[in-house]
């Protein structure tokens, strides 16, 4: 089942903060975050595991609330290069199959 991302789009000024949410109705094993710029492939940002471990980009942080099956990606002091579409991918159990949300389009203006 596809995770739900919110908001669908956000526009902010350079230096502002943003939060992107990803929620699932099913119990998750892991959540993966990617950023995709127009015409390019998705780039890996973060992975969060059930149990609290996480690994990823050193300038982007994220959380995973296992009780709510919700993950949030925190973009602080955003830069122009942060513009793009952010996808969360969720994994249930050991299936090793990522199901992606519909994406959040982030635009950072100077």
Partner 1 sequence: KAGVTQTPRYLIKTRGQQVTLSCSPISGHRSVSWYQQTPGQGLQFLFEYFSETQRNKGNFPGRFSGRQFSNSRSEMNVSTLELGDSALYLCASRSEAGAYNEQFFGPGTRLTVL
- Contact footprint for partner 1 (CB under 8 A): 30, 32, 34, 40-44, 47, 49, 53, 55, 87, 89, 95-103
CB of 72 to partner 1, least distance (A): 19
Q: Which is nearer to partner 1, 76 or 102 (CB)?
A: 102
Q: How far is the CB of 41 from partner 1 (least distance, A)?
A: 4
In terms of residues, how long is the chain?
Answer: 110
Q: Which is nearer to partner 1, 39 or 110 (CB)?
A: 39
Give the helix/strand (H/E) hosting 18.
strand 18-23
C-alpha torsion angle, residues 49, 53, 58, 64 (rounded to 10): 50
Give 106's contacts (C-beta < 8 A, 6+ positions apart). 9, 10, 12, 18, 20, 75, 78, 82, 83, 84, 85, 86
Nearest approach in angstroms of CB 99 to partner 1 is 7
Minimum distance of partner 1 from residue 14's CB (angstroms): 27
- Taking the C-alpha atoms of residue 40 and residue 75, their distance in angstroms, rounded to an integer, is 20
Shorter beta-carbon distance to partner 1: residue 44 or 74: 44
């Amino acid at each position: 089942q596809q995770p739900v991302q919110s908001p669908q789009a956000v526009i902010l000024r350079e230096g502002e903060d943003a939060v992107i949410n990803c929620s699932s109705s099913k119990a998750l094993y892991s959540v993966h975050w990617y950023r995709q710029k127009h015409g390019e492939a998705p780039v890996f940002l973060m992975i969060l595991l059930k149990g609290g471990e996480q690994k990823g980009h050193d300038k982007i942080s994220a959380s995973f609330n296992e009780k709510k099956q919700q993950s949030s990606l925190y973009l602080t002091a955003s830069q122009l290069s942060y513009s793009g579409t952010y996808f969360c991918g969720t994994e249930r159990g050991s299936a090793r199959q990522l199901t992606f949300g519909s994406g959040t389009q982030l635009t950072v203006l100077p």
